[in-house]
Structure 1
Amino acid sequence: MTLHCTWCTPIRTFLRDTARGLFIVTHSGLAMVGLGAAALVLALWWQPQWLHQAEGALFDWLRERQVLLSWLPENAADRATAVYLQDLPRPQAAVAVWLGRKYKVAPEPLAALVAEAHVLGKKYKLSPHLILGVMATESSFHPYVQSQAGAQGLMQVMTGIHVQRYEAYGGKLAAFDPITNLRVGAGVLADAIKLRGGSIEDGLKFYLGGYELTEDGGYVGKVLAEQALLDQVAAGVNVPVQ
């Protein structure tokens, strides 16, 4: 005697339809993945900078999580005090190149300092070439110079006296960061000029030695002469490196 299963047929139909639907969805999904991959390859071929950006984002993500740290190098370019000359206006780039030739310093770090000097010049209402002239005279653009009196960095700021100015930048060790030293030094210079009634010459003397200074040893003349040369370079004059 054969038993008739009244519910087997619907179940078989349901399972068959389900299997067919899964096949269709899976097949369509794989096709979509393939089309998406092809579109991605085409897009990266058409816009290769997207690939570089994606690689950079991936490397940054790996670095932040210290994944494969043993072979993945640190991206130190973001910490370098340097910019490309072509990213500056032509007069600023000319000044950076001229200073590099004169003081035997790479032009890219100088380009960053020149650009920052222009920012600070607007902030403190000073000639950026005056600020650069002070740097040239004080340190010849070498950021780790230290005097016997304790003046440090590009602008030869007395770190012990102006330590509070460095607090906003993380402490007195920031004196050896070129941009930080430039910013602090420009602020000290602006305050010195203001304190001496707006006189550039008297402000430079005060910047050099404070109230106790009696003879500047030609310091003011050197700074102003450097400023005048930089003005000519920026104006397009062919100034020889002396």
Structure 2
Amino acid sequence: MTATGFFASGLRTVLHALVNGIFKLTHNSFALLGLAVACLVITLTARPDLREQGELQLRSWLQARQGIESDADAELDEPSERALAADPRGLPKEQARVAFWLSKKYRVAPEPLSVLVGEAYELGARTKLDPTLILAIVAIESRFNPFAQSPVGAQGLMQVMTRVHTDKYEAVGGQLAAFDPVTNLRVGVQVLQECIRRAGSLEGGLRYYVGAANLESDGGYAAKVLAEHFRLRQVAGGRGTRTATPAPGTLTTKADAPPAAEAPAAPVVAPGIEKVALLSAS
């Protein structure tokens, strides 16, 4: 027999042994699996309590899994399913007054503005912040332009530094969600809460928010926000803003004080200082 014949014969022998080994291993594995299944069936038949407990755990796991998937789907679908506009006449009277007043002052359609006003009031109730303060910040920051962007990268209604607060946008669709008005409003309120908590006061929090916490002046930013806040509170209460003056003894915070004559505030510009970036830098 030639060398090629010997090689072919040896190869066939090896392959035959390998196939037999795989067959026996598979046969034994299936036999063991069948034995295990049989033992399990016998056990569950003899112990109904174990069967019921297993069914209960399986059902709970499936329900929990379905709930997680439903929540994830709802979270992803929320921006696309959310109403973009609403009839301001359907709002509570206080909110409707604010929506119409802002619409007239900032030349924004009242219908989409109504959604933002309603959201601001819901956020205010959850975060213990005055909703008119939230709207005042939006007014000063972007004049209700959801696509506004500053030279340093602050974006959206509340001009949040998107690249600084990426963690806050991860759960709501990523950084492009900064241009979704309601999402930007929610993230901006989170940032505002952190600023106020860090500063320990509203005025100090506004200085942090504008990125001027370590500067001598915030360029009049806090004063402008508080003045707009005062006007919005007057509107929400059904009082005019031209001659409205708080009654004696009603001032409890600086936000309640009537605004002084406004002068154009100089922008806060300093090397290395970026709006709202101080929260991450410190």
Q: Indicate the TM-score class for this superposition, using the shorter chain for normalisation.
A: 0.5 to 0.7
Q: How does 1:35-184 map to 2 (within 5 A)?
A: 79-184=82-187
Distance (Å, rounded) in 2 between the aligned partners of 1:167 and 1:213: 31
Q: Is residue 193–residue 203 contact of structure 1 (8 Å, CA) maintained in 2?
A: yes
- State the distance in 2 between where 1:233 and 1:211 align: 30
Paired amino acid for 2:124 = G
Helix, strand or coil: the match of 1:81?
coil
SS at match of 1:236: coil
Residue 210 of structure 2 aligns with which residue?
208
Q: Under a length normalisation based on structure 2, what TM-score does the superposition of the two structures give?
A: 0.56
8 Å contact 2:83–2:115 — kept in the other structure?
Answer: no
Q: CA deviation at 1:213?
A: 3.5
Sequence identity (%): 55
RMSD between aligned alpha carbons?
A: 1.9
Corresponding letter in the other structure for 1:225 = A
> Residue 202 of structure 1 aligns to which amino acid in structure 2?
G
Q: CA deviation at 1:78?
A: 5.1
Matching residue of 1:219:
221
- State the Cα distance separating 1:210 from its structure 2 match: 5.4
Task: Tell me the alpha carbon deviations over residues 6-65 of structure 1, each in whole angstroms, 9 at most, x when there is no partner.
Answer: xxxxxxxxxxxxxxxxxxxxxxxxxxxxxxxxxxxxxxxxxxxxxxxxxxxxxxxxxxxx
Q: Partners in 2 of 1:126 and 1:229 — Cα distance?
A: 16
Distance 1:133 1:209 in 2: 17
Residues of 1 paired with 2:118 and 2:178: CA distance?
A: 19
Task: Tell me the SS of whatever aligns to 2:211.
Answer: helix
In structure 1, what residue type is equivalent to 2:234? Answer: Q
Other-structure match for 2:234? 232
* Residues in 2 aligned to 1:210 and 1:187: alpha-carbon distance in whole angstroms: 18
Give runs of ≥4 in structure 1 deviating > 3 Å.
77-80, 210-214
Amino acid at match of 1:81: L
The amino acid across from 2:231 in the alignment is L
> Which residue of 2 is the match for residue 193 of structure 1?
196
Q: Distance in 1 between matches of 2:215 and 2:159?
A: 16
Task: Tell me which amino acid in the other structure corresponds to 1:204.
Answer: L
Residue 79 of structure 1 and its aligned partner are, at CA, apart by 4.9
What is the match of residue 14 of structure 1?
none
Cα distance per residue 1:66-116 (max 9 Å; x no partner): xxxxxxxxxxx9555211112210110010000000000001111111111
Judge conservation of contact 1:206–1:213 (CA < 8 Å) in 2.
no
TM-score (ref. length: structure 1): 0.65
Conserved in 2, the CA contact under 8 Å of 1:174 and 1:181?
yes
Q: Check whether the contact 2:204–2:213 (CA below 8 A) recurs between aligned residues.
A: no
Gaps of 5+ in 2: 1-79, 243-261, 263-282
Deviation of 1:153 after TM superposition, in Å, equals 0.2
Q: Distance in 1 between matches of 2:215 and 2:111?
A: 36
Q: Structure 2 CA distance, aligned partners of 1:207 and 1:108?
A: 28
Partner AA of 2:218 in structure 1: D
Task: For 1:209 and 1:230, locate their aligned partners in 2 and report how far apart those are by CA, in whole Å.
Answer: 24
Structure 1 residues 109 and 219: CA distance shift in structure 2, 3 A: same
The count of residues paired between Structure 1 and Structure 2 equals 165
Match of 2:110, as an amino acid?
A: P
Alignment deviations for residues 130-171 of structure 1 (CA, whole Å, 9 cap, x no partner): 100100000000000000110000000000000110011110
